[in-house]
């Protein structure tokens, strides 16, 4: 009888142990996967979210996708955006930014000038003027891309616009003898052909890459900008940005916008890649410096294992939203996009892609999905109409053809 009692007790303890292990395993599973099973996952660091943000939108650096993220956040949280005046689509670019380029910034009445929450349209950085329209506690950030890839993209996109690119067959040919095509005195139209990112930060893109000058300008960027993202590591960039802004996961999930089709991407010869680094030496130094600091910040703030987990969550959520929103996950060219309002602007020899939405979406889901695929010009015009309903809407001519 005692033996039977002992066996019962051992059996009972074994069952309890099995239950405990089951609970632990279930808890671990839920901890890992509940974030993927619900769109309500917050995943935000402690503290209130940052809502005053200046994003320096550099050219051909995945900045259109970042702009979409910021526009969505502004619309969702009823924040004001610093938008171009009247019929303009940028904030004075390529001239240095002035506060008067922002709709509603100038006030005739007595009182302090109007401040905005979000600034993210193309401009050439000019800090004193930016500070006239942005609050003192504004978070400043930007994004960089390897100058070789950035120049290749610019060549295709601005082929018919930049004088240096118009009369040369390929970027390989241009880089073989750039001074045969590039005239520094040709004006601001040529900013896309050399050190374009350096120019966007407000610096002289034709300056010699002397060490003392470069170091001084890099220090200027470090003093003003709290974060510089790296386009080649976009998902890691979004993870770090989310932590810095104390935002939710869904706030930084995005579909790739303003991307080119594979047929309009050119592979450069190895010698051309080295020539591009020398030709855009200022951009190359800028990129190298902040690529190193980006990874140093990531490892210091998150560590490799947490970074891998959060990147995986971000990608899984993007896949989930793509399955929810998109008729086909693969982006489409202009003629394949059925809703002309979702067709992106086409430039140069670039074939800019967009998306088709599913037809069976309920109204709330449709609004969410539309925001995620709306090209930047259309989104800017949409926000302009919301903020300034008494002013004439932006006229987007390429949608009328």
- The whole-angstrom separation of Cα 398 and Cα 164 is 25
Q: Is CATH 3.40.50.10680 correct for 42-394?
A: no
Band of pLDDT at residue 346, cut at 50, 70 and 90:
very high
Residues contacting 348, CB < 8 A, separation 6+? 156, 157, 158, 159, 160, 161
- Dump pLDDT digits (tens) for 187-229: 899 999 999 999 999 999 999 999 999 999 999 999 999 999 9
Please say if the pLDDT value at position 18 is more than 90.
no
Domains of the chain, by residue range, sit at: 42-394
pLDDT at 106: 77
What torsion, rounded to 10 degrees, do the Cα atoms 381, 382, 386, 392 define? 40
Please say if the pLDDT value at position 357 is more than 60.
yes
Burial class (CB within 10 angstroms; exposed 0-12, middle 13-18, buried 19+) of 276:
buried
- Residue that is written with structure tokens 């082929």 in the block: 159
pTM as predicted: 0.88
The residue with greater pLDDT, 107 or 312, is 312
């Amino acid at each position: 009888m005692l033996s039977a009692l002992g066996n019962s007790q051992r059996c009972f303890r074994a069952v309890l142990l099995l239950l405990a292990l089951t609970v632990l395993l279930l808890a671990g599973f839920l901890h890992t996967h509940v974030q993927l099973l619900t769109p309500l996952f917050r995943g935000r660091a402690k503290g209130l979210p940052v809502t005053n943000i200046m994003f320096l939108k550099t050219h051909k650096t995945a900045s259109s996708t970042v702009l979409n993220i910021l526009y969505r956040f502004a619309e969702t949280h009823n924040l004001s955006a610093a938008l171009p005046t009247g019929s303009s689509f940028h904030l004075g670019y390529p001239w240095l930014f002035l506060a008067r380029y922002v709709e509603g910034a100038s006030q005739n009445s007595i009182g302090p000038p109007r401040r905005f929450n979000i600034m993210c349209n193309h401009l050439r950085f000019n800090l004193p003027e930016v500070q006239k329209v942005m609050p003192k506690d504004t978070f400043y950030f930007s994004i960089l891309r390897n100058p070789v890839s950035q120049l290749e993209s610019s060549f295709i996109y601005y082929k018919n616009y930049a004088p240096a690119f118009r009369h040369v067959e390929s970027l390989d040919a241009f880089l073989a003898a750039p001074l045969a095509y590039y005239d520094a005195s040709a004006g601001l139209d040529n900013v896309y052909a050399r050190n374009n990112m350096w120019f966007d930060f407000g610096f002289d893109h034709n300056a010699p890459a002397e060490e003392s000058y470069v170091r001084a300008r890099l220090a200027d960027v470090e003093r003003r900008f709290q974060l510089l993202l790296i386009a080649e590591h976009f998902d890691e960039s979004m993870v770090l940005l989310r932590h810095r802004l104390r935002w939710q996961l869904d706030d930084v999930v995005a579909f790739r916008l303003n991307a080119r089709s594979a047929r309009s991407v050119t592979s450069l010869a190895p010698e051309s890649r080295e020539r591009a680094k020398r030709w855009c030496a200022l951009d190359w130094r800028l990129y190298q410096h902040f690529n190193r600091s980006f990874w140093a910040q990531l490892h210091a703030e998150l560590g490799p294992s947490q970074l891998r987990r959060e990147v995986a969550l971000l990608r899984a959520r993007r896949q989930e939203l793509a399955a929810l929103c998109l008729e086909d996950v693969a982006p489409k060219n202009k003629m394949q996009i059925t809703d002309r309002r979702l067709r992106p602007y086409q430039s140069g020899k670039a074939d800019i892609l967009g998306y088709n939405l599913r037809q069976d979406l309920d109204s709330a889901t449709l609004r969410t999905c539309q925001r995620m695929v709306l090209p930047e010009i259309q989104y800017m015009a949409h926000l302009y109409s919301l903020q300034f309903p008494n002013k004439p809407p932006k006229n987007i001519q390429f949608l009328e053809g």
